[in-house]
Every structure is written in structure tokens, then in C-alpha cells.
């Protein structure tokens, strides 16, 4: 029997039940319901005050000092993803796989902000102060006036933050914090939710921006911290493929900026280095391109970026051919394959299909359809595309190639990197550009070896 006011909260999906059960009715997980007390004892409530209303038009009351618009760290790749710097009093969740470099990035961010005069604190529940210091020294940040603490008890952190006015506070990580108001262990949904809630409330009240670091599980979901997503103003994910030094910071939610911006970094011996021109990085090796390799002229956020799409179409040894894709959507791959089969006469029925986006980038633009289709056709026909050609365009189910946004910008970036031709939808005319309105025309052009 549940006690009065007790709720059982699933630690993996966050759904709550009145009764304990071995299996969560919400997500089907086993042994993940944990009791959580919801009602406070009578008399424990603080007396309430009427909420204060303010004008939308930035009028300030006498009791308030106008706040600076944004804290720019000077790390441009980070500032841009935040929408031009960190908004004072905002809460940001930074998620990523363990070891991807979240702590490294956060240390660089607080150090950079501190060097520009912001009062910054870095609170780690994972490392000792000495460890953080020695890492900072190795990264050349020893001179930055950042305040450090190694602490996991929420109440002590909150007391510490009340004592001094901070502009930016990093909590690394939210999964290590615990509040003695709950019995659940650190990292549980109850703890993560309540600790994040308290910190966000404190941030809004005290004016300090709070960055919460959260670890992600294998399936790409921010475990535990997922329940925090709705509380924070921005969710940034820090991604990187194993074996590549490149790291991409991506906005998943941002109340103060666009979410399609990416920041590109390279992990080196002394921390993360900004990559201002990511095209060169995602292009793979230079030199002659093999069949199946196509350069896509894409747009990531506000920037044009060239990316290499690699496809391999090979006879299948098994009854059910394989379809594997890295860096692109598998549903989109199935669609492009179906259009190539039914509108262009290319058969993939008994062939394995592999598609890879070089450099560990994940592309989500529809404009990549034609690049993927061209890579697949190029591999299937065993014909390489000309070395100086980029590809972009959206492909519809009817086999049409549709115009995409910002074609001029794509062509300009391509020209800057020595690509003088483009295969794409009708649009801006340029010398040597091949405009196609049907996917079948594009495939026919690729098949005509004469054009190379």
C-alpha cells in the first residue's frame, strides 16, 4: 500500500505511479520505480507573497539594476551556439557522452568568461580541486580568476552561491549532486530533477547563469537530465565520434537563439581548439575522389559547410541486404533508395548499401538528399564524379529535384575551396553548373563518364 502522499517515480522515463510495481507501466523497464514523498508536513510551508509584475519593455523597477545583455566568452564557436553569448540568469544544460570533453569545454568557457571580467564558479562533483587546477595549468588557463569547488551536496552549493554574486556558475555534473531532502541516490530522476530545479530557481533569482553538465546514455538520450530539459532555457549537446578529434556543439533547444547552429572544436593536447573553417575538416582527404564519394554543399546554422558523403553499394552475401548509415537519417536513406529504384531504374534489391558522412558530422538538411543519391548512384554505376563538383538539392518522392535555401552561399563556399561546379536544382546560373530538375537526369549525367 502506498502511504499518503507517496508516489512511485520511474527512474528511466520519469512517469509516476500511485502503486509500486516491478515493471514500469510507462516504459516497460524493470525495477525502476522509486518512492518519492510529495506532500510536505503541515506548517512546513513558507508564508507566500504576492508575485510582482513587471513591464515587458525592459522598464526597470527601482529595486533592480539593469542586467548586461549577454556574457560573451570570446570562444566564438560556443557563443554562437548560445545565440551570441550566455544570457544572465539563464540555465543551460550541456549533455554528451562521458569522455567527449564536456568538462574540458566548460573549464575553457568559465576561464574565458572570467578573463573578461565575469565572476565565475566551477563546481565539480567528479574531480578534486587539485585535479581541476592541474588540468587548467596544462591547458594554459591557470591565470584565469575562476573560483573552484569540489562539492556534491546541493545545500552547501546553494549556500555558497548565495554568499557571493556570481555571473556564471558551472555544475559538473548534475548527476553527481544530491539533496538531503530525498532518499534516492545521486543520479536518480528524483535527485536530478530536484537539484536542477533548485539551481535553476537560484539562477533566476540571483542573476547568475547556470550551466549544468549532464552525461548521456548509449541510446543518445540525456539520462536523468532528460527530465531537466523543460526546466532549462537551452539544451546543448556536445558530440564526437570515437577516433575523431572533432567535437561538435549543437543546440537542441534555445530560448535565446537559433537551434540549428553548430560550434566545431578539435580536441588537442591543450584542450579544445576552435575550428573556424569546418569545411576543410569534413572533406576527408584531398586528391582524386573515388566512385561513391560526393561533396555536399550544406548549411549548418548560419554557416555553409562542405561535407563528404561516401557510399558503397556492393553485392549482398545474405538473403536480406544490409543498409547501414552513419551521420544521416536511415529513413531518408530508405526513401532515396526507393526513388532511385522506381524513378531511375537503379536496382538495390540484392545489394548491401553503406552510407557514411565523413568527419563525424550528422547532417539533417533535406538538401543532402541529392548528395546522398549521387553518392549511391556513383557507387552503383562505379563512376566517380568530377573532382571539382559539389552536389545539393532536395529529392521528392516523385523524383523531382527541388531548390533549397541559400544556394548562393553554398556555391560561394564551394568556390572558396576550389570547387568550380555544382550539380543541383535549377537556380543561380554559374559557369559549368549542371542544373537538374529530375533525379533521373542527375543519375544519367553521373553515368555519362564523358562529363568528367
Residues that bind Mg ion (CB under 5 A): 103
User: Least separation, in Å, of the C-beta of 346 and ligand TYD?
Assistant: 42
Measure Cα distances from 234 to 64, 197, 215, 224, 406 in Å.
25, 14, 16, 16, 26
**Closer residue to ligand TYD in complex, CB, 104/433:** 104
The cell numbers describing 124, all together, are 565539480
State how far the Cα of 6 lies from the Cα of 111, in Å rounded to an integer: 44
Question: Least distance to Mg ion from the beta carbon of 102, Å?
Answer: 5
- The site partner of 83 among Mg ion, ligand TYD, none (C-beta below 5 to 8 Å per kind) is none
Q: C-beta of 148: minimal distance to ligand TYD in Å? A: 15
Q: Closer CB to ligand TYD, residue 248 or residue 385?
A: 248
Supply the DSSP string of 346-410, one letter for each residue. ---TTEEEEEEEGGG-----GGGHHHHHHHHHHHHHT-PPPTTEEE--EE-TTSBEE--S-HHHH
> Which is nearest to 282 in space by CA: 244, 252, 249?
244
Kindly state the helix (H) or strand (E) to which residue 6 belongs, with its residue range.
strand 6-10
Using CB distances below 5 to 8 A depending on partner kind, what does residue 191 bind out of Mg ion, ligand TYD, none? none
139 binds, among Mg ion, ligand TYD, none (CB under 5 to 8 A by kind): ligand TYD
> What minimum distance in Å lies between the beta carbon of 212 and ligand TYD?
13
Residue 90 or 103 having the CB closest to Mg ion: 103
The residues that touch ligand TYD, with contacts defined as CB under 6 A, are 96, 98-104, 135, 139, 267, 269-271
Closest CA to 365 of 407, 393, 400, 389: 393
**Residue 286 interacts with, from ligand TYD, Mg ion, none (CB under 5-8 Å by kind):** none
Task: Label the pairing between strands 33-37 and 389-391.
Answer: unpaired
Q: Least distance (Å) from ligand TYD to the CB of residue 5?
A: 38
Give which of ligand TYD, Mg ion, none residue 135 binds (C-beta under 5 to 8 Å, depending on kind): ligand TYD
Q: Which is nearer to ligand TYD, 176 or 191 (CB)?
A: 176
Backbone φ and ψ for 293, nearest 5 degrees, come out as -105, 125
Look-up of cell digits 555544382: 422
Q: Are 406 and 378 in contact (CB under 8 A)?
A: no
Q: Which is nearer to Mg ion, 95 or 393 (CB)?
A: 95
* Residue 423 near residue 374 (C-beta atoms within 8 A): yes
Mention every residue, 6+ apart, whose C-beta is less than 8 A from residue 109: 73, 75, 78, 168, 170, 211
Residue 117 binding target from Mg ion, ligand TYD, none, CB below 5 to 8 Å by type? none
270 binds, among ligand TYD, Mg ion, none (CB under 5 to 8 A by kind): ligand TYD
For ligand TYD, the closer CB: 104 or 152: 104
Q: Cβ 111 to ligand TYD, closest distance in Å?
A: 12
Instruction: Tell me the closest approach of the beta carbon of residue 127 to Mg ion, in angstroms.
Output: 7
Q: Which does 267 bind (CB under 5 to 8 A by kind): ligand TYD, Mg ion, none?
A: ligand TYD
Closer residue to Mg ion in complex, CB, 102/289: 102
> CB of residue 344 vs ligand TYD: minimum separation in angstroms?
44
Can you read off the three cell numbers belonging to residue 141?
588557463
Nearer to ligand TYD, 96 or 278 (CB): 96
Cell 537551452 -> residue:
234
Amino acid at each position: 500500500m502506498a502511504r499518503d502522499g507517496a508516489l512511485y517515480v520511474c527512474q528511466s522515463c520519469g512517469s509516476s505511479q500511485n502503486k509500486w510495481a516491478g515493471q514500469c507501466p510507462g516504459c516497460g523497464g524493470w525495477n525502476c520505480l522509486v518512492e518519492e514523498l510529495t506532500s510536505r508536513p503541515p506548517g512546513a510551508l513558507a508564508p507566500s507573497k504576492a508575485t510582482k509584475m513587471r513591464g515587458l519593455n525592459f522598464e526597470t523597477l527601482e529595486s533592480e539594476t539593469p542586467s548586461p545583455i549577454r556574457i560573451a566568452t570570446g570562444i566564438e564557436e560556443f557563443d554562437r551556439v548560445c545565440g551570441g553569448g550566455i544570457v544572465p540568469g539563464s540555465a543551460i544544460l550541456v549533455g554528451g557522452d562521458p569522455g567527449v570533453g564536456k568538462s574540458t569545454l566548460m573549464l575553457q568557457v568559465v576561464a574565458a568568461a572570467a578573463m573578461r571580467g565575469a565572476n565565475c564558479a566551477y563546481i565539480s562533483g567528479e574531480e578534486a580541486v587539485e585535479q581541476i587546477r592541474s588540468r587548467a595549468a596544462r591547458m594554459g588557463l591557470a591565470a584565469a580568476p575562476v573560483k573552484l569547488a569540489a562539492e556534491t551536496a546541493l545545500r552547501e552549493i546553494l549556500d555558497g552561491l548565495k554568499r557571493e554574486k556570481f555571473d556564471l556558475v558551472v555544475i559538473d555534473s548534475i548527476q553527481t549532486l544530491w539533496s538531503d531532502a530525498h532518499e534516492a541516490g545521486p543520479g536518480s530522476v528524483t535527485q536530478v530533477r530536484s537539484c536542477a530545479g533548485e539551481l535553476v530557481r537560484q539562477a533566476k533569482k540571483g542573476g547568475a547563469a547556470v550551466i549544468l553538465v549532464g552525461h548521456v546514455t548509449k541510446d543518445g538520450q540525456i539520462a536523468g537530465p532528460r527530465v531537466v530539459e523543460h526546466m532549462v532555457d537551452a539544451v546543448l549537446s556536445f558530440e564526437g565520434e570515437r577516433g575523431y578529434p572533432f567535437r561538435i556543439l549543437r543546440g537542441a533547444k534555445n530560448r535565446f537563439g537559433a537551434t540549428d547552429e553548430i560550434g566545431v572544436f578539435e580536441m588537442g593536447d591543450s584542450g579544445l581548439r576552435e575550428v573556424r573553417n569546418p569545411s576543410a575538416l569534413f572533406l576527408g582527404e584531398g586528391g582524386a575522389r573515388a566512385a561513391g564519394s560526393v561533396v555536399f554543399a550544406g548549411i549548418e546554422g548560419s554557416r555553409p559547410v562542405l561535407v563528404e558523403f561516401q557510399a558503397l553499394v556492393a553485392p549482398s552475401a545474405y538473403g536480406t541486404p544490409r543498409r547501414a548509415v552513419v551521420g544521416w537519417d536511415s529513413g531518408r536513406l530508405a526513401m532515396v533508395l526507393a526513388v532511385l529504384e522506381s524513378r531511375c531504374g537503379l536496382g538495390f534489391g540484392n545489394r548491401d548499401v553503406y552510407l557514411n558522412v565523413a568527419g563525424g558530422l550528422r547532417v539533417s538538411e533535406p538538401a543532402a538528399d541529392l548528395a546522398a543519391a549521387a553518392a549511391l548512384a556513383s557507387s552503383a554505376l562505379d563512376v566517380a564524379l568530377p573532382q571539382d563538383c559539389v552536389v545539393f538539392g532536395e529529392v521528392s518522392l516523385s523524383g523531382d529535384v527541388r531548390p533549397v535555401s541559400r544556394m548562393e552561399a553554398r556555391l560561394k563556399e564551394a568556390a572558396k575551396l576550389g570547387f568550380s561546379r555544382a550539380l543541383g536544382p535549377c537556380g543561380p546560373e554559374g559557369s559549368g553548373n549542371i542544373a537538374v530538375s529530375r533525379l533521373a537526369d542527375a543519375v544519367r549525367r553521373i553515368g555519362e563518364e564523358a562529363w568528367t
